[in-house]
Amino acid sequence: MAREERGSAVAEFTLVGILLTVLALAVVQLALALHVRNTVLDAAAEGARSAALAGSSAGAGITRTRELISAAVSAEYADEIEAGVSTIGGIPVAWVTVRAPLPVIGLLGVDRTLEVTGHAALEVLD
């Protein structure tokens, strides 16, 4: 080994190790962001199903959505929830929309960057 190349393996290992660590953390953060998005979307859909039950209301859907998000992620993600009734293709549906932060570093994120809506057909008793 030439004299000027001594110690270069240590420097290479350090630089490559840092790069691989940053890459691994980025993949973990992406997985966390997708997990939060899917969890909030599932809670919105479940809240819409709760609001669509016969004799239920939009408030029941909001409450159910808030409970699910608070239990699965954090209560901070359940601050802004809206619900209502509309029609899609002539079919009456209940909807629940959640606006939450998208996690950027850990669970810290920018407010209101994630918006998901769940729908469910209204249950009607004749």
pLDDT of 59-71, one tens digit each?
Answer: 999 999 999 999 9
Q: Is residue 66 part of a domain?
A: yes
Q: Is residue 27 part of a domain?
A: yes
Q: Measured between alpha carbons, how far is 67 from 6 in angstroms, rounded to an integer?
A: 60
Range of the domain at 53: 3-121
pLDDT for 112: 79
CB 45 within 8 A of CB 121: no
pLDDT of 8-24, one tens digit each?
Answer: 888 899 999 999 999 99
pLDDT for 42: 98
Q: Is residue 126 part of a domain?
A: no
Q: Is residue 100 part of a domain?
A: yes
| Closest C-alpha to 38, from 119, 120, 121, 118 | 118
Q: Is residue 115 part of a domain?
A: yes
Query: What's the number of domains the chain is made of?
Result: 1
Q: Measured between alpha carbons, how far is 87 from 105 in angstroms, rounded to an integer?
A: 38
pLDDT of 23-79, one tens digit each?
Answer: 999 999 999 999 999 999 999 999 999 999 999 999 999 999 999 999 999 999 999
